[in-house]
Amino acid sequence: MRQFDLSPLYRNTVGFDRLFSMLDQMVGVDAAPSYPPYNIERTGENAYRISIAVAGFTDRDLTIEVKENTLSVRGEKKPSEDRKAEVLHQGIAARSFDRRFQLADGVQVTGAALENGLLHVDLVREIPEQKKPKLIPISSNGAQTIEAQQAA
């Protein structure tokens, strides 16, 4: 067995894209589609957007929850009382779903919008101050720095 299937890891994570891009280049694996179809886009240096196709669902049918670095999007179609038509062919899937995405440390959900049958979930990776790179000044002579501070 020389090939590893990384698609389950790649399609359910956000913020690990550099690592999985490297692994994909080495292995050459494409993500397999599943219900409901979705896209993960990079919209900025530290911003992402997950777009999920939720045709037939309303905002009342959808639930978004973040818990311990896991983003859960659930859809449950509520039965409609006013619609009593007999369906002759059902090509639009409106079955319930529960889609989970693993979020990297520091990735936060900033908002969600439902438009034109797509649920857009916006995310941003916030790097804490202690993890940001910082420049350390280099002194040429430690004794001169101490004397300069005492004179001031």
Q: Specify the pLDDT at position 94.
A: 74
Q: What is the CATH number of the domain that holds 42?
A: 2.60.40.790
Given a cut of 60, whether residue 27 has pLDDT beyond it is no
* pLDDT (tens digit per residue) in 119-144: 999 999 987 777 778 888 888 875 55
- What amino acid is encoded at 64 in this protein? I
Compute φ and ψ for 38, nearest 5 degrees.
-150, 160
Q: Specify the pLDDT at position 21.
A: 60
* pLDDT (tens digit per residue) in 89-123: 878 777 889 999 988 888 999 999 999 999 999 99
Given a cut of 90, whether residue 65 has pLDDT beyond it is yes
Q: pTM (2 decimals)?
A: 0.62
Given a cut of 70, whether residue 6 has pLDDT beyond it is no
Q: Specify the pLDDT at position 147.
A: 53
Closest CA to 118 of 51, 21, 35: 51
Q: Specify the pLDDT at position 10.
A: 60
Query: In angstroms, rounded to a whole number, what is the distance separating the alpha carbons of residues 18 and 32?
Result: 19
Q: Specify the pLDDT at position 88.
A: 83
- Residue 12 inside a domain? The answer is no
- Residue 16 inside a domain? The answer is no
Report the domain count for the chain: 1
- Residue 72 inside a domain? The answer is yes
Q: Which domain holds residue 50?
A: 36-81+88-129
Given a cut of 50, whether residue 32 has pLDDT beyond it is no
- Residue 7 inside a domain? The answer is no
- Residue 140 inside a domain? The answer is no
H or E, element range at 147:
helix 142-151
- Residue 17 inside a domain? The answer is no
- Residue 67 inside a domain? The answer is yes
Alpha carbons within 13 A on the beta-carbon side of 62: 23
- Residue 114 inside a domain? The answer is yes
